[in-house]
Each structure stands twice: as C-alpha cells, then as structure tokens.
Amino acid sequence: MKPQSKVKLTGSTRPVPANATLSDVNKDEIIEVTVRLRRQKVLPQEAISGGKHLTREAYADEFAASSAEAQKVEAFAHDHHLSTVEVNLGRRSVIVKGRAEDIEEAFGVTLKCDSTNGSSFRIVMGDIHVPEELKDVVTGVFGLDDRPIATPKFKVKRLNGSVVSHAAAPAAFTPDQLAKIYGFPTGVTGSGQCIAIIELGGGYRTGDLKTYFSELKIKKPTVKSISVDGGINTPSKADGADGEVMLDIEVAGAVAPGATIAVYFTPNTDKGFLDAITKAIHDTQNKPSVISISWGSAEVNWTQQAMTNYNESFKTAAALGITVCVAAGDAGSADSVTDGKAHVDFPASSPYVLACGGTKLTTNNNGQITAETVWHESSDSATGGGVSDFFPLPDYQANANVPLSLNNQFKGRGVPDVAGDADPDTGYKVRVDGQEMVVGGTSAVAPLMAGFIALVNQQRQKSAGFINPAIYADPSSCRDITSGDNKTVAGNVGFTAGPGWDACTGLGVLSKLPEVKANVPA
C-alpha cells in the first residue's frame, strides 16, 4: 500500500465529554462506516421549490454520486483492507467495513471507548481524515462514533407519577378528532400515499394497532417494518422508545388510514439516522411522499458534517417532491442544554424541512376551539423554537421578521414553521404495549402534519413536496397563535408568541395548503 497524503474532513470533530472514562477499543472489532459522496450536478431550483419535482429515476441518472468517484472511494477502502458492504449512488453512500485498527489507519483517527454511566460507546479523538485526492469527493464519514445522537420528542401525561388513562383525560383527543377540529381535508384517506416514519429504537405490536384502530372504528392502515443498519422492530416497554413508535404510527394512521406507513428502524447513531433518512428518500419500492421524524437534538450536539449531510439529503427530498415533517423539540428555548443559551433542535432547524412546534388546545363540548396557546408546562416541557446558529435565514423567511440569534446575532433560520396540539394535558389518546396512554410533545405534531400532507396529496393527485415557500408566501394558510412563550433558559431568555411568525409556533396551525407555484424562491 502506497502512502497517502490525508487532509482533515471539515466539521468532523465531535467533542469528547469532559467526564469521559476512556479506554482503548478492541482493535479487531468490526466497524461499518458510511462514506458520503458529492452530487454529480447541482439540483435545479425549480425542482426544489417550484413544484417541478424529479422522479427518483431521473435523480439517479443525473444528480446521484458519480460511479467513477465511488470506485475511487472503494479503491481507497480496499487499500486499507476494508471490504465493501454496499454502494448506492442515489443515496450517495459507499458503505464499507473492517477491523478497528484498519479503520483508524484509513481515516487517520484514534478510536476510544467511553464507558461513562455504565454504557460503552465508541468515540473519535479529533478530526476524521480522508486522502487528499478525495477531499472534494467525500462530504462526510459516519459510523466511527456510535454515541446516541438523538432523543424522541414525546411527553407522557402523568398524575402523581402514574400514567393517565384515556378515561381520566377528558381534555385529550384522538388523532382523528384533531383532524376534524383542525379542518383537515375530508372525503380522502391518504390512499395511494406512503408515509415514512424514522425510528431510532423501540417497536410496535400489531395486536395493539388492531385494538387501537378498532376502538376508533377506523380501518387499520398497512404498516411495514424496514430494517436499516441492523435496526429492527423491537417492542419492549411502554415508557421507552415504544411510546414514540406507537404514537407516530397511531397519529399518522388515524389521520390518513388509507396511506401505507413504512417504519424505518435504525440504530440511534449519526450513521444510522442518516442512513434511514436516505433509505426512505430513495426507496423505489414504497416511494414515500412524506416523511415524519420525531427524533432530534440541539444543534450544539451535532458535528457540522452531520448537519450539512442531513440537510443536503432533505434538499434531495424536496427535489423529489417529498415533504419532511420534523418535531421542533420539547424543552423550550433551552432545548435541554444547560449552558444558559438559547438552542434549536436539529434536524428541525434544516431549512428544507417543515419544523413542527407545539400548542395547548382547548375546545368546548361541540369540538369548537375556545383557546389555543403556546405549549409551555415547565422548563422541560414546552415547545422548541428559536433561531439556528448554523443555517442562515432561508429566502422564504425573508419577510417573516425572524429575530437574530440570541447567542451571537447570527441571521439564522427560524424554527418552527407550523404548530399543533402538543401539551400532554390536551394530548393524544394512544395505545402502547397494551396500555392506554395520553401523550404529548412535538413528536405528535410531526406525524399529524404528515397525515395532513398525505390527505392533501391524495386530494390533489400530486405530491405537495417542499411546502415552506408556499406557506410563507401565503400565511393565511395557517391560523396564527399569538399567546404564550417558550422561555426555558435561566434568566427568562427565549421567545414570546405574537401576530405573524414567531419562534414558538411559527406561522401557526396549518389546516389548508396553498398551491406550490413555479419560480418561488427557496
């Protein structure tokens, strides 16, 4: 093997925890790595925001990774005794595996094990490196660090520490009730659509789904389980990740029971999360028209290469006519970070997704809305929202009066875009592992919006795709929420709702969708 000059991969460093308990990795451990490649061509703007969507086949022909460049990556990997697992040019991914010692040599890294808090995870010391000849080809390397990257954004309603049943929660709703209250399209079921749901753990039980939809008197939707990177449907207990999985399926399914629901199970790592997203986007069998994501973490917890590669994948989704709905977070303006600053959740902060914030909804006995305010129960139970410190302000928010970042005056992307019921007190009646539960959180809003988009897609007989430019151009598509705040940072730092867009509930509650017009700037 000839010596290769290597260069740092920009933005690949993930900080090592200050309290980390480090030890050497097993040099014979087999590690699987996803190497991301650049596109052959720049995506056309009219495909992203002008409604002229690309087919998956057209994308693969013109905009996927180059076969020649993928072969160069493979050759580099083979030179370091790594074997090829998969090459997918559409997903712009070359997946390779090999011994930890060979991985370290190939990517110029030192790997360690962190056994803090009784768990053992692999971490990377410093930057990842790639050969100089591939520095413009490789956009990211994922899988070296296998620490959990995201958390689910749901909140179980409890009373005196106990889970609240449906009967004991008169202010809660079933998802189909919310669809009716919010005025979602009627006479359609989402037939012909596929809703993709990304899950980083947990699972569902078919028996629970049958019981749940039977009680709602709604036909159970077709639900498929898809394995990514070895992730599988593994239901365990109601207060774990199963709560997220069942919430997502039951909400999306109750709103759009005619849609197929494809659940992509993957490990909770930056590689697993990314691989599941690209798998769903480029799935030529199920062909999702909308993706629901209810997992995330504050931007400061991500590497720059991760946010950039995820964002580019969401940009691809937009060009393919896929709407991506993402929960905006459940811990207010702090987003669970204790550094005294305001933070937004990623991937909700990607400018190519529909970021979904949370409200508290009150209705009368006739199902008419009497009040709807910002969801804010406590310092760790409030809608996420704020201004990105990484992604600049997108063109479609130019007139939305997004404030500068409270941290550094950066002119960033404002979060969220829309909102819906998320307060556990007025939450969603669901069934998890045989148990009735009432669940809130922005986790519920993402599949609620995904179900809404599926209904619209069937109604119009075409995919809505990237709707952000259209709804910002016509804010009347949303019912404005003007009361409440999400200030959870020490010192009462955060954001307050008011007329127009705000960093608590965005434009408000979306219940109709303007037509996406050509030549709308992104």
The set of catalytic residues is 244, 248, 443
Q: What is the 3-state secondary structure (H, E, C) of 290-328?
A: EEEECEEEEHHHCCHHHHHHHHHHHHHHHHCCCEEEEEC
Pick left, alpha or beta for residue 197 (phi over 0 → left; psi -120 to 50 → alpha; otherwise beta). beta
Distance CA 520, CA 157 (A): 42
Distance CA 212, CA 64 (A): 41
Helix (H, G, I), strand (E, B) or coil at 416: coil
DSSP for 310-379, written as a single string: HHHHHHHHHHTT-EEEEE--SBGGGTT--SSS---EETTT-TTSEEEEEEEEEE-TTS-EEEEEE-EEET
Distance CA 382, CA 334 (A): 10
Q: Which residues contact 319 (CB under 8 A, 6 or more apart)?
A: 43, 44, 47, 48, 53, 54, 59, 63
Distance CA 53, CA 56 (A): 9
Distance CA 164, CA 428 (A): 11
Cα–Cα–Cα angle for 312, 313, 319, rounded to 5 degrees: 90
Query: Residue 163 belongs to what H/E stretch?
Result: strand 162-163
How many residues are listed for the chain in this entry? Answer: 522
What tokens appear for 146 in the block? Answer: 């296998």
Query: Residue 104 belongs to what H/E stretch?
Result: helix 100-107
Distance CA 172, CA 419 (A): 17
Pick left, alpha or beta for residue 19 (phi over 0 → left; psi -120 to 50 → alpha; otherwise beta). alpha
Q: Where are the alpha helices (DSSP H) in 174-218?
A: 175-181, 206-216
